Amino acid sequence: MKFAKIVFWAAGIWGVLVLTPLYFMFDLIGRQDPPPITHPAFYYGFVGVGLAWQIAFLIIAANPVRFRPLMIACMVEKFSYGAALTVLFLQHRLHASDLTFGVVDLLFGVLFIVAFFRTKGKE
């Protein structure tokens, strides 16, 4: 259970630190990586949903055994983003530096799987 706590605390804190600044970088992203973002609702929606998941990770970290079923949705969250960035990179639609965030999400996804199986039978 200690492993799961550490993994979910780390994922939640990392996510909050990485996602929160995006609220203040909308125009900067468009200038540094053209073209400018044309659908701000999707952009801010992504950031908001992403932050909500970070809160879910922190809630799971507080009691991994109780919230073990939610870990499955967490895996989907991590693998869907990591896989999407990987595909975009392979299609030459994403800079290699942006792929870093996808790799981090894939790593957390794997750690979520390990945490899920390590908490089995602890209920």
Residue-range definition of the domain harbouring residue 11: 2-118
The label of the residue with tokens 């792929």 reads 99
Residue 89 domain-assigned? yes
pLDDT of residue 121: 81
pLDDT of residue 63: 97
Bigger pLDDT: 33 vs 45: 45
For 63, other C-beta atoms within 10 Å of its C-beta total 13
- Whole-model pTM over 0.85: yes
Question: pLDDT confidence of 123, banded at 50, 70, 90?
Answer: low
pLDDT of residue 122: 72
Question: pLDDT confidence of 44, banded at 50, 70, 90?
Answer: very high
Q: How many domains does the chain fold into? A: 1
The string of pLDDT tens digits covering residues 80-89 is 999 999 999 9
Residue 21 domain-assigned? yes
Residue 98 domain-assigned? yes
The string of pLDDT tens digits covering residues 83-113 is 999 999 999 999 999 999 999 999 999 999 9
DSSP sequence for the chain: -HHHHHHHHHHHHHHHHHHGGGGG-HHHHHHHSSSPPS-HHHHHHHHHHHHHHHHHHHHHHH-TTTTTTHHHHHHHHHHHHHHHHHHHHHTT-S-HHHHHHHHHHHHHHHHHHHHHHHTTT--
Residue 70 domain-assigned? yes
Residue 123 domain-assigned? no
Residue 16 domain-assigned? yes
Average pLDDT, the chain: 95
pLDDT of residue 71: 98
Residue 60 domain-assigned? yes
Residue 111 domain-assigned? yes
Omega before 35 within 30 of 0, i.e. cis: yes
